[in-house]
Structure 1
């Protein structure tokens, strides 16, 4: 009887140890290891569909994570805080938009790097942003390329 109890205690302890390890791993993957990232803020007319924890994608590659979404009471614009990998040094004319990389993906911040020689410093507020596209517009862009609009 004592042998069965000790076996149950050992198995229970191992299950708890594995569960604790998974929790630590999940927490670390959600925070993204902020020590190797720097903060940036983007100002949008609307942050519709964007959630805290969403990916920041550049050319289909995740390069950061959304950390906060708040309304600026003075301008009534959405301030979206996010972090970027330290290896990603964005030009000052970078454009940030809200959208989905595919029709089935979650909404993310999409980064389009510019060509300026100067780089964005940590804590910079980016105002060169685009409004999020509606689902109808995304479907139209997918079917017709640019939504049937003449390109410039």
Structure 2
């Protein structure tokens, strides 16, 4: 009896280790991958809560870059987010950068809403047209009630 219990414990432990290994493999291979030459941009947010390095930068749901670093500007007390964007993309200088998530349970990322300007952001430009992430309460409220009949914040 004790020998059967020992064998099942070993089998269960092996299964747990295998599942943990598969999870680690999935986590490593599912990280944001951006190909090609990249250029840096800075985005200033009142709060970068929920955002972390290596999160995706997206335009229209397509990954076009990644978050590199998040620091605090000691003069303005705003979050300075350094992003790397695919060099083949030119982003209008009136674009808005939002910290958001595709669903309530997915990771945050920086979603770029392209503007209409003919002037493009240059390398190392600082974007101040930003919007912070909505709180969980606000996300739930938006999900249940829509935007409450209010016009969308542009």
Shorter chain as denominator, the TM-score bin is 0.7 to 0.9
Tell me which residue corresponds to 1:141.
142
Distance in 2 (alpha carbons) for counterparts of 1:31 and 1:72: 28
Distance in 2 (alpha carbons) for counterparts of 1:142 and 1:41: 31
Distance in 1 (alpha carbons) for counterparts of 2:97 and 2:141: 21
Count of equivalent residues: 125
Instruction: Please state if 1:32 is matched with 2:31.
Output: no
Distance in 1 (alpha carbons) for counterparts of 2:91 and 2:61: 16
Tell me which residue corresponds to 2:22.
none
CA shift at 1:126, angstroms?
0.3
Is contact 2:96-2:130 (8 Å) kept?
yes
| SS of corresponding position for 1:139 | helix
Structure 1: gaps spanning 5 or more residues: 1-22
CA shift at 1:142, angstroms?
2.3
Structure 2: gaps spanning 5 or more residues: 1-24
TM-score, with length taken from structure 1: 0.75
CA shift at 1:89, angstroms?
1.0
Tell me which residue corresponds to 1:72.
73
Tell me which residue corresponds to 2:16.
none
Distance in 2 (alpha carbons) for counterparts of 1:94 and 1:104: 26
TM-score, with length taken from structure 2: 0.74
Tell me which residue corresponds to 1:125.
126
Distance in 2 (alpha carbons) for counterparts of 1:104 and 1:151: 25
Deviations 1:70-125 (A, max 9, x none): 00111111000011112221101000011101122101111100001100111100
Distance in 2 (alpha carbons) for counterparts of 1:87 and 1:54: 20
Tell me which residue corresponds to 2:55.
54
CA shift at 1:30, angstroms?
5.7
Tell me which residue corresponds to 1:96.
97
Distance in 2 (alpha carbons) for counterparts of 1:40 and 1:85: 11
Q: C-alpha root-mean-square deviation of aligned residues, in Å? A: 2.1
CA shift at 1:144, angstroms?
2.5
Instruction: Please state if 1:84 is matched with 2:109.
Output: no
